């Protein structure tokens, strides 16, 4: 199972970073970032299978294709932003983490404008 690889790499990277932190702090940060990248790469196969599943579902219901695509994009952005924010916080860059978080939220809002617009139009059509 991939989860055992991910957890194992996470533990090895965390322990190695903590040991190196006493001697060379910059190397500890590099090991932590390297562990994060390896974990992300190990997760790509699973992410790809999720995207394939959603694309198959998207082909079944033709009417909601734009909304499924928007949902996929916003979910991907949210995951990427959360991952990036966590790495920045682990490196002590709180201000940079907050700006990445803010930027991600703005991008997600801009992507969801068509859904919000369609929902408001539908609501206005229903109301007398």
Task: Report mean pLDDT in 10-residue bins for the chain, 128 residues.
Answer: 81 86 84 87 83 71 67 87 87 87 92 86 83
**Per-residue model confidence (pLDDT) at position 106:** 94
**Per-residue model confidence (pLDDT) at position 109:** 92
**Per-residue model confidence (pLDDT) at position 44:** 83
Q: Where are the domains of the chain?
A: 1-60, 64-128
**Per-residue model confidence (pLDDT) at position 57:** 67
Q: What's 31-78 look like in SS3?
A: HHHHHHHHHHHHHHHHHHHHHHHHHHHHHHCHHHHHHHHHHHHHHHHH
């Amino acid at each position: 199972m991939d989860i055992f690889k991910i957890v194992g790499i996470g533990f090895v990277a965390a322990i190695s970073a903590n040991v190196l932190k006493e001697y060379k702090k910059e190397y500890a940060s590099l090991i932590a970032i390297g562990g994060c990248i390896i974990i992300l790469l190990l997760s790509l196969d699973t992410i790809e299978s999720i995207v394939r599943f959603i694309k198959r579902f998207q082909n079944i219901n033709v009417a909601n294709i734009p909304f499924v695509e928007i949902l996929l994009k916003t979910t991907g952005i949210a995951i990427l932003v959360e991952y990036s924010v966590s790495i920045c916080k682990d490196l002590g860059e709180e201000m940079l983490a907050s700006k990445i978080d803010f930027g991600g939220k703005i991008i997600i809002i801009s992507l969801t404008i068509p859904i919000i617009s369609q929902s408001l139009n539908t609501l206005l059509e229903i109301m007398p």
